[in-house]
Amino acid sequence: MTNESMPLKIAESENVLLIRSMVRQFCEREIVPDMMKWDETQEFPAEVFKKLGGLGLMGVLVPEQYGGSGFGYAEYITAIVEISKTDGSIGLSLAAHNSLCTNHILLFGSEEQKRNYLPRLASGEWLGAWGLTESNTGSDSGNMRTTAVRDGSYYILNGAKNFITHGRSGDVAVVLARTGPVGVSGNISAFIVDRGTPGFTAGKKENKLGMRASETAEIIFNECRIPESQLIGKEGDGFKQAMKVLDGGRISIASLALGIATGAYEAALKYSKERHQFNQPISSFQGISFKLADMATKIEAARLLTYRAGDLKDRGCEVTRESAMAKLFASETAVEVANDGVQIFGGYGYTKDFPAEKYYRDAKLCTIGEGTSEIQKLVISRSILK
């Protein structure tokens, strides 16, 4: 049976309903009171992620045998959406930890690596980072400059990665490095590098437009010596591993975007009913009501695409095209909905006294991170034309 002929299953299970309720209560208690302070100061609230670990949300997809919650993508998407409705920054960090670093080890790590790292990542004791992007090689990862040179039973890493979520605060990073000539197929390998390893340091922290409470920083390797036991899988398999990891990562960003879009829409809908002009709520004007109709329709389409990709992933199907479609549509929807949300709020939408401006700033990252919208179109077009 092909993906096209497989029915979508998104009936909400008891687990999904419980997670949604739990996350909403957590957000009201632990995020809402301080989120604008974190945004203004770019403070990364590490303690929030320890608490999320206590709720089982730092290892949603990790099997129970490795200390995780053992859930599927329906539960995972729901958690990311609900967090991101409140604060995209927290949603982004939660997504990066789960779908990149943790998931890379889960999918491709040895049994020893899984038992060593997954329980600490899933519990929130450790925070994970994932290093692929470099200053001169974003989408062009085949030409990365970070190298890993074998020296006996060790590898020596040299180079730098940028735009890394948790680049400073992460306790462990999965890093992609070149183990062969530039531009040659099969020349990239993946390694687990612990914080504190000599030669592994953090660099510049980025000053960002949005997602300001999610830490983004450079990581640097200078004669960083790690044992060969830190290699994930076989030498040269890193790029193939990364592409599989990004299939799940795109579902994560779609979920993040869906949450931001939903939050922006709900805030605008509420405001449109409360704000009166000419002795009636502005929601009664066609110019506003049609905006709300468009917003709601796009969000529902993004929701279906995202949960469909997650459903296929849970069933072990190939999801490269579906995850790219979900990521592309949901992220562009988030930008459009957040923009319309600011417009509905009018002048107040441009102030920090109302939530519209933060959704607007946070949404844009979704069209860039883990593959730009243009790259998603490339992935989709290759799939439908082959």
Catalytic residue, from 64, 336, 370, 374: name it.
370
Question: Are the CB atoms for 348 and 292 separated by under 8 Å?
Answer: no
Is 336 known to be catalytic?
no
Q: Which of 240, 230, 277, 248 is CA-nearest to residue 113?
A: 230
Distance from the Cα of residue 299 to its chain's centroid: 18
**Token pair in block for residue 215:** 């830490």
- Looking at 217-319, list the stretches that DSSP marks H as alpha helix, in order from N- to C-terminal side: 238-274, 286-314
Question: Are the CB atoms for 257 and 333 separated by under 8 Å?
Answer: yes
Report d(CA 315, CA 334) in Å as an integer. Answer: 27
280 in helix, strand or coil? strand
**Token pair in block for residue 9:** 């299953």
Report d(CA 192, CA 117) in Å as an integer. Answer: 9
Question: Are the CB atoms for 98 and 59 separated by under 8 Å?
Answer: yes
List residues with catalytic annotation. Answer: 370
